[in-house]
Structure 1
Amino acid sequence: MSKLPLTRVLAVFGSGTDGRLGLGFPITSQLYPRIVASLAGYSIKQVSCGGAHTAVVTDDGSLFTFGLNDWGQLGHSREDKFVAAPIEVTLPDPVKAVAAGGFHTLALTTAGELWAWGMSGEGQLGIGQPTEGRQLEPRMVRSMTGSGLVAVAAGDHHSAALTADGQVYTWGRGDHGALGHGSVQGHVPVELVPKRVRGLAGVRVAALTAAPYATGAVDGEGQAFAWGHGTGWQLGTGRNTSELTPVKLDLLPGGVTSLALGQLHSLAVVGDGRAVVFGSDETGSLGGGTDTLRSRVARRPQPVPGLPLVSQAAVGWKHSLAVGRDGRLFSWGWSGAMGQGTFTDYGGGQLGHGDDQDRWAPEPVLRLHTSRHRYLDLRAPHVKSRPWRVLAAAAGRNHSAAVVELPLDVRDLAD
């Protein structure tokens, strides 16, 4: 029997509200990761989870979105308030990176053009003064044309972009200092078009991240910077305060390789593969076990116990994900489903452990569903080697997604 070729698929889990999992009807939550069968014919490159929608980029540059569409954040289906299955966003060139924000979406194409759509009334699309509060179709951010963009990031009401020469631009609503431009006469203004973050002058940034109300950057040497909402110790500065301009995170161990800022807690992966956490604990999000009940806060970055060496981390509203170098996925924190969405909430499960119970310490995700009734389980006695490998993970408000590599028989996708 010939071996099945390895393929990269999208797996989703958590609340199914407003179709954000892309599994079609009936809309239900998923307590274990489940492959999005309609995208199984594509090789998945990247996934980004927004407040209640999801965006996916494939190797050939196709972009698919699904979920809540009340502000036009899907870039298609103008009249639909939500879309429960992936639909392609039409852009003139292939997409190489996407960022799903709270209510808007950014896409960077191979032509170097930046496109934006969704909620627009607070400048987060970067297209200047909007004529209305939502943009239902992709609009080019013309002021960034020719800037040599290589990465984008999106928060709830702000956006960020990175150029090839390491410069960072931000725009949108600057609440808590999320834009990093400081204040004008004591007020933080709204920026309707991208503006360079001057506080990073002389720093060659290599990677960007965004929280709902904060932004972070990592330079080529692995030094991290953060600014924005920090009144829960979540910026890693060692201070319980928001920062209006970038602050160098000297408290982090050397060589940061992955930085994920969240609403009240954050994760970083340092050069040797250790995951460290900082911020305020919400239902176990710091991963320190029940001992964190005593303090409920990590004022300084501290290691997350019980994890192997990690390659990447992601942070949701109150939950955390870590991708091990060995391809395993770990999760902890909140597993409920109360929160952002328009229609009936169908349950939680964004930790992927088969229930909606919170976890106060990291646990490995052991099951992957290929369809509603078929699955692979690492606990099965016949499994002698790991049948799948997680390459990257993303976390939304109360849903999660992962790029998973595995040998897939398409017959296993049938219910």
Structure 2
Amino acid sequence: MRAVRFVALVLAALLSVGAVAVVLQQGSAPGPVRPPDRGALGASTAASVDRCDDTFLLTVDGGGEQALGSERPGRTVDVVRRAVLRHASVSGRTVRALGLGLHSEPPAALLGTRTRVDKARRTITAARVRAWRGPVGAAVTRAVAALDQAALDCPAQQVLLSGYAQGASVVHRVLGVLRGRSDGLARVGGALLVSDPDRRARSVVSPVGAPAAGAGRSGVFPRFLEAVADVPPVAPTLTVVSVCSAGDLVCDPVDNSVKDALRLARSYHLGAGARLVRAGALGLWRSARLRPVPDPGVQVVSGEVGEPLTLQLAVDVLPEAAAGVAWAEPLQLPPGFTLSPDGVLTGTPTEQGSWNITYVVRGTDPPTTDVPGAVVLTVASEAVAVSAGGQTSCETRTDATAWCWGRNNFGQLGNATTAGTEVPVEVAGSGGWATVSTGGSTTCGIKSDRTLWCWGLNNAGQLGVGRGAPRSTPVQVGTGSVWTSVSTSWFHTCATRSNGTLWCWGSNLRGQLGDGTFDQRATPTRVGTDSDWASVTTGGFSTCGVRADATAWCWGQNVFGQGTGENQSPQPRPSRVAGDQAWAQLSSGWAHTCGVTLEGAAWCWGLNDRGQLGDGTKTLRRVAVPVKGDRIWTSLSVGDATSCGVDNTGSAWCWGSNSYSQLGDGGRQSRTVPVLVRSDESWLSVDAGWFHTCGSHDGGVTACWGNNELGQVGDGSRTDRPVPKEVR
């Protein structure tokens, strides 16, 4: 049930084709983080980057395609909407699509009731054109207001516009309004006008069609009423596409038959017409991708005091524009860090803490507007860590000593006794501890020389030294100095080595060791043949891990979907977790799992009877669901039926079971969404145990809360604590 932090080296594998690569040369060992102070964090800046989609698509209906009172887009603009969303999904960008509906008349209303079959243009009158144009003026005002509101909500968001028939006229005129403003078109990546009644003869934009309308002819509005200004000319990052087939009654009225003229005006949602519209949407999207966008917009990265760190920031941009990408205006850099114009963040952390580094990225060839991005950098001191287990808690301190307190019936405190204690006692041995993980009744730790040691219960071989009696002092696992992280559960243990291999041992009743069998292993057994494991976390009878490509894998018990969710049978080999998330860290509990993505989003899956998934329900989930709220998480930890995490402001949050006040909110009511842990401190880390939780703050001071019947809170008492209580 340990939360193991992601080794940041895996960032390099996550980027889409055509993006500038991320390279992080130095990873970090598991450990806590601490914001220096909340005022310096700039959390609102980082969060605002995360909330805004990359692109705002405004579509405007016309041609009578949207039924009165309907909120569904018309058939033609829906072709555009679906095409843009499809291209965005492939590119890894996000789009907010807003449709503006017009209660408009179809093109046939231009003809009246008496028509000459072979002379479509001659049946049109100025009065009918004026009536048909009726909703355009008010819709222009509405569209401009929608764009202004979008600019207020997300100033850096790029805009794409599209409309059909009267809706195309609205977009045409909106471009004119924006053109009259200072930098009004700076955010517009492109516009797609389908059957534009305002099309000008000899326009700066040549129409496309099957075949295209004649360049010297104009749409129905200029021909019968008055003309408005032409659309802006195409620029390096502004694409304007006019789709108009020859003889279209609306955008190219000529003396063809009424039947043909109407057919052409209504042909853009299917067949050859739809193919033209989709090609135009692709042109818009290519223009949008000439503007570099940070990829991801927010990155959660960890480092270690004294260890050099180099991170090449990445963007999504078309290859032909990549050479002109520049990074600028870095804010809130940690001491000793710099951000170069080509996007290299580099430095050596001198103090532990958390920084929300913000920057902008822009294109210089072609020139584009700025797009903000953020890096949430958490820096740990390897010598400080805290772990909450069954009814035991442990920590490492700045002097590299390890201390434990609480239950000790199997020697899991490591002080050569089996007597429990309400205050910390030092783990026996020569010190030099880097990190520690305590589970049900077993504890393991890694020293600074990368040797691995375990102590406590050993009935299933979970100490890794052969099955036998409990050990009340640390015993070395093997002879190697190659271990980088360890995670202990109730009956099994797993650890990673410096060469990227993963090893597990102990009980294997549900296949939780991942070696393809259900056989118990009393010494470390390698999980498969892969050598790209970044981290591992052990649950009740399951295990999960993150690999170097940021994919998540689980194995073992899956009856509650806490593994991969594919089926309820035990999985004796690693199986990939469904979804397209790029994972930074996972944490497994008794029957549920949670994780943090590289962008700081939290997702959970599995048993949810106490609300431990944080999605606002108590519904079991076999696939990952997002935790409620728009926080940027730096770490998560999962206990029995409780989940906790730290966000980029240094605040601690918990959700799920609260029968022993383990949520730290002062009450005993279970919560289905995150609640704030009652504390004025900035937290380094939190770790959820069985019925209690511990965390570290203010330079390594440890505090615990929740169940304390055996002294696991460590404050010298056996009284349950509803809010954090400092360990003595």
- TM (norm. structure 2) is 0.43
Q: Relative to total residues, which structure has the larger helix share, 1 or 2?
A: 2
Distance 1:413 1:196 in 2: 39
Q: Kindly report which structure 2 residues correspond to 1:353-364, keeping only aligned pairs within 5 A, or say none.
A: 353-364=665-676
Match of 1:97 among 435, 449, 457: 435
Distance 1:48 1:55 in 2: 5
What's the CA shift for 1:298? 1.2
Paired residue for 1:192?
Answer: 522
Paired residue for 1:20?
Answer: none
Q: Kindly report which structure 2 residues correspond to 1:115-194, keeping only aligned pairs within 5 A, or say none.
A: 115-130=453-468, 132=469, 134-141=470-477, 143=478, 145-183=479-517, 188-194=518-524
Paired residue for 1:401?
Answer: 694
Distance 1:170 1:140 in 2: 15
The answer to whether the 8 Å contact 2:416/2:428 transfers is no
Paired residue for 1:339?
Answer: none
The answer to whether the 8 Å contact 2:386/2:695 transfers is yes
Structure-2 change in CA distance of 1:106 and 1:79 (3 Å): closer
Provide Cα deviations, 1:77-99, integer angstroms capped at 9, x if missing partner. Answer: 5141x111001112224011111
What's the CA shift for 1:107? 1.2
What's the CA shift for 1:322? 1.8
Unaligned 5+ segments in structure 2 are: 1-34, 38-380, 702-724
Match of 1:59 among 389, 394, 398: 398
Paired residue for 1:391?
Answer: 684
Structure-2 change in CA distance of 1:71 and 1:282 (3 Å): same
Structure-2 change in CA distance of 1:59 and 1:154 (3 Å): same
What's the CA shift for 1:117? 0.9
The answer to whether the 8 Å contact 2:401/2:431 transfers is no
What's the CA shift for 1:203? 4.0
The answer to whether the 8 Å contact 1:236/1:278 transfers is no
Paired residue for 2:579?
Answer: 252
Match of 2:614 among 266, 279, 287: 287
What's the CA shift for 1:256? 0.5
Unaligned 5+ segments in structure 1 are: 8-41, 337-347, 369-375, 377-387
Structure-2 change in CA distance of 1:78 and 1:271 (3 Å): same
Match of 2:448 among 94, 103, 110: 110
Structure-2 change in CA distance of 1:330 and 1:413 (3 Å): closer
Query: What letter matches 1:91 in structure 2?
Result: G
The answer to whether the 8 Å contact 1:228/1:242 transfers is yes
Higher mean Cα deviation, 107-116 or 391-400? 107-116
What's the CA shift for 1:306? 1.8
Query: What letter matches 2:440 in structure 1?
Result: G
Distance 1:127 1:108 in 2: 15
Higher mean Cα deviation, 225-234 or 238-247? 238-247
Structure-2 change in CA distance of 1:90 and 1:270 (3 Å): same
Q: Kindly report which structure 2 residues correspond to 1:308-319, keeping only aligned pairs within 5 A, or say none.
A: 308-319=631-642
Paired residue for 2:543?
Answer: 215
Q: Which has the higher contact order (CA 8 A, sep 6+)?
A: 1
Query: What letter matches 1:135 in structure 2?
Result: R
Provide Cα deviations, 1:196-236, integer angstroms capped at 9, x if missing partner. Answer: 112xx234111111112111111222111111111101113
Structure-2 change in CA distance of 1:407 and 1:191 (3 Å): closer
Paired residue for 1:224?
Answer: 552
Structure-2 change in CA distance of 1:307 and 1:390 (3 Å): farther
The answer to whether the 8 Å contact 1:93/1:111 transfers is no
What's the CA shift for 1:255? 1.9
Query: What letter matches 1:98 in structure 2?
Result: V
Query: What letter matches 1:157 in structure 2?
Result: F
Query: What letter matches 1:350 in structure 2?
Result: Q
Distance 1:44 1:162 in 2: 19
Distance 1:89 1:219 in 2: 32
What's the CA shift for 1:405? 2.8
Query: What letter matches 1:110 in structure 2?
Result: S
| Same amino acid, percent of matched pairs | 28
**Equivalent residues, number:** 328
Q: Kindly report which structure 2 residues correspond to 1:28-39, keeping only aligned pairs within 5 A, or say none.
A: none
The answer to whether the 8 Å contact 1:232/1:241 transfers is no
User: Secondary structure of the residue that 2:661 maps to in structure 1?
Assistant: coil
Establish whether residue 271 from structure 1 lines up as the match of residue 610 from structure 2.
Answer: no
Match of 1:328 among 628, 651, 655: 651
Match of 1:239 among 557, 567, 587: 567
Structure-2 change in CA distance of 1:407 and 1:169 (3 Å): closer
Structure-2 change in CA distance of 1:98 and 1:114 (3 Å): same
Structure 1 runs of 4+ off > 4 angstroms? 412-415
Provide Cα deviations, 1:351-384, integer angstroms capped at 9, x if missing partner. Answer: 000011111211122x22xxxxxxx4xxxxxxxx
Distance 2:698 2:634 in 1: 15
Paired residue for 1:88?
Answer: 426
Larger Rg: 2
User: Secondary structure of the residue that 2:384 maps to in structure 1?
Assistant: strand
What's the CA shift for 1:59? 2.5
Paired residue for 2:102?
Answer: none
What's the CA shift for 1:335? 0.5
Structure-2 change in CA distance of 1:324 and 1:400 (3 Å): same
The answer to whether the 8 Å contact 1:174/1:189 transfers is yes
Structure-2 change in CA distance of 1:304 and 1:119 (3 Å): same
Query: What letter matches 1:209 in structure 2?
Result: T
Distance 1:231 1:319 in 2: 19
Provide Cα deviations, 1:283-313, integer angstroms capped at 9, x if missing partner. Answer: 1112122xx24xx211211111124111111
The answer to whether the 8 Å contact 2:644/2:686 transfers is yes
The answer to whether the 8 Å contact 2:502/2:531 transfers is no
User: Secondary structure of the residue that 1:165 maps to in structure 2?
Assistant: coil
Query: What letter matches 1:362 in structure 2?
Result: P
Paired residue for 1:262?
Answer: 589
